[in-house]
Every structure is written in structure tokens, then in C-alpha cells.
């Protein structure tokens, strides 16, 4: 894990930043700086099977939820006598891992920001196959690939369902997504959002696909996240930093 203690942050104000599939924590340093400047101590990690972590089967966020729990407990252990506030920022598989950690009852974050999170693995797989092989071949390929995936990761496909996991959330959630996603269709984004209990908010990024939304439109990202944090993260310490355009 990698920790930054922000000079703008109260000791009890933290955010856990989670990277995506086949990525690593190094891709999240812009977010680290973004939240550090806005009053948060930041913890970055490498999920199992990613970066400098030991080799492991990647389970699209399901078992990676245990890594989220371990990081969450580490933050709590730094000030065991205090009520530490911990938010989560997850991108793609990192968002799914956070969803599973909540759904499995492993963590109780104070708020979550979930970016480009898939609703279930069946849709995510079918969308990726359609992008590569077209809609005609996708139904023929999906079932055997799902069968292989189930045996490789020793999980049923219907267990890989962040939308169902998020039904058990008890904290404010901000959902971010591009409105031109091909990995995630708009109907799936809307379904995922519908599964999340209140309080919640969804912000779409016009023209964006399955990509880094902070890099795509820094001003929109800063506005959406800043508004959400002011409403739902009472201990935020304001340290506004001008954001550059695209």
C-alpha cells in the first residue's frame, strides 16, 4: 500500500483509492493529488494479481473485496481510539470491488464514488465480445467463455453482480460514467443506479467512453465530486485547486 498524509487533512479524514482491471495504483496518482488537496489522507493499493502484489487469479472485484477490507482495517488501525471517516473512490474493477466489499458486509464506508462500474459480469462480458466480434457472434461465444471463467476463478457468473451487492449499501454514493460507454450500456448504468439506495447521485460525462473521467473532463469531475463531498463528507477541508481543461 502507498499512503499520503495530506497537510490539508484532519487526521481522521481518509479516502481509499482503488484502481481498475489490469491496472495498478500508479495510474491513480492524479486522484491521489486531487483528494489530498481537498482535505483527505489517501491510501492507494495494488489489488492481488496486480502491480507489485503476489500473482493471483483476478476475480473482477469479487475476491479483491478482501483487499479493500484489509486496506480499510489498516486505516482504522492507525487511530483505533478514534472514529475515523473513510471514503472510497473506485474505478472500473476497483468500483466493483468496493461494491462487493459493502455487499459482503466487510466494510462500512462513510461515502463512495464509483466510476465506470459494471452492473454484472454477464453484461460486461457480452459488451466486450460485441465490441471485438460483433453482435452476431457474441451469443455463440458468451456461454463457453462464461463456463471457462467460472472454472478458472471458482465462482458462478451470477455471483459477479455489483448491482445486487450495492443494494446493501448504507452510505451516500456518487456514480460516474461516460454516456458513450461501449463496455457499459446506458441501460445498464441506469439499472445499476436504480439498485443503489438513497442518498445517491449520478453524473454522466458527455462523449466519454470507458476511460479516465478525471482526465477526460477535469472541470466536470471536480464540480461533481466537490458538490457531492460538500453535501455528504462534513469533515472536508476546503483547499480549492484550479483545474486545467482538456
Count CB atoms within 10 A of the CB of residue 192.
24
Residue 142: strand, helix, or coil: helix
CB-based contact 35:130 (threshold 8 Å):
no
C-alpha span between 30 and 26 (Å, rounded): 9
The pLDDT of residue 53: 67
Distance CA 20, CA 14 (A): 20
Q: Whose grid coordinates read 486505516?
A: 75
Per-residue confidence in pLDDT tens, the chain, 246 aa? 789 999 999 999 999 999 999 788 888 999 999 999 999 999 999 998 777 766 789 899 999 999 999 999 999 999 998 889 999 999 999 999 999 999 999 999 999 999 999 999 999 999 999 999 999 999 999 999 999 989 989 999 999 999 999 999 999 999 999 999 999 999 999 999 999 999 999 999 999 999 999 999 999 999 999 999 999 986 544 444 433 333
| Residue indicated by cell numbers 462464461 | 146
Q: What is the dihedral of CA 122, 153, 91, 232, to 10 degrees?
A: 90
Compute the CA torsion angle 226, 39, 75, 233 (nearest 10 deg): -40
pLDDT recorded at residue 49: 79
Q: Residue 184 in contact with residue 177, Cβ under 8 Å?
A: yes
From the list 159, 160, 157, 161, the residue with the least C-alpha distance to 146 is 157
What whole-number distance in Å separates Cα of residue 241 and Cα of residue 226? 11
pLDDT value at residue 241: 41
Going by the DSSP 8-state scheme, the letter that residue 109 receives in this structure is -
Amino acid at each position: 500500500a502507498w499512503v499520503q498524509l495530506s497537510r490539508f487533512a484532519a487526521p481522521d479524514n481518509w479516502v481509499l483509492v482503488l484502481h481498475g482491471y489490469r491496472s495498478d495504483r500508479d495510474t491513480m496518482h492524479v486522484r491521489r493529488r486531487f483528494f489530498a488537496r481537498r482535505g483527505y489522507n489517501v491510501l492507494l493499493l495494488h489489488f492481488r494479481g496486480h502491480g507489485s502484489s503476489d500473482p493471483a487469479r483476478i476475480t473482477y472485484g469479487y475476491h479483491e473485496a478482501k483487499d479493500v477490507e484489509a486496506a480499510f482495517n489498516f486505516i482504522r488501525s492507525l487511530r483505533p481510539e478514534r472514529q475515523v471517516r473513510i471514503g472510497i473512490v473506485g474505478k472500473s474493477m476497483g468500483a466493483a470491488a468496493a461494491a462487493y466489499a459493502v455487499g459482503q458486509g466487510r466494510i462500512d464506508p462513510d461515502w463512495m464514488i464509483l466510476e465506470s462500474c459494471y452492473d454484472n459480469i454477464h453484461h460486461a462480458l457480452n459488451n466486450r465480445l460485441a465490441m471485438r466480434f460483433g453482435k452476431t457472434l457474441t451469443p455463440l461465444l458468451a456461454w463457453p467463455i462464461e463456463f471457462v471463467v467460472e472454472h478458472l476463478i471458482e465462482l458462478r457468473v451470477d455471483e459477479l453482480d455489483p448491482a445486487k451487492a450495492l443494494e446493501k449499501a448504507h452510505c451516500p454514493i456518487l456514480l460516474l460514467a461516460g454516456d458513450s460507454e461501449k463496455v457499459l450500456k446506458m441501460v445498464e448504468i441506469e439499472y445499476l443506479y436504480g439498485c443503489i439506495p438513497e442518498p445517491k447521485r449520478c453524473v454522466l460525462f458527455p462523449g466519454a467512453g470507458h476511460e479516465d473521467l478525471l482526465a477526460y473532463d477535469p472541470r466536470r469531475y471536480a464540480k461533481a465530486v466537490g458538490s457531492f463531498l460538500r453535501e455528504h463528507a462534513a469533515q472536508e477541508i476546503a483547499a480549492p485547486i484550479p483545474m486545467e481543461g482538456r
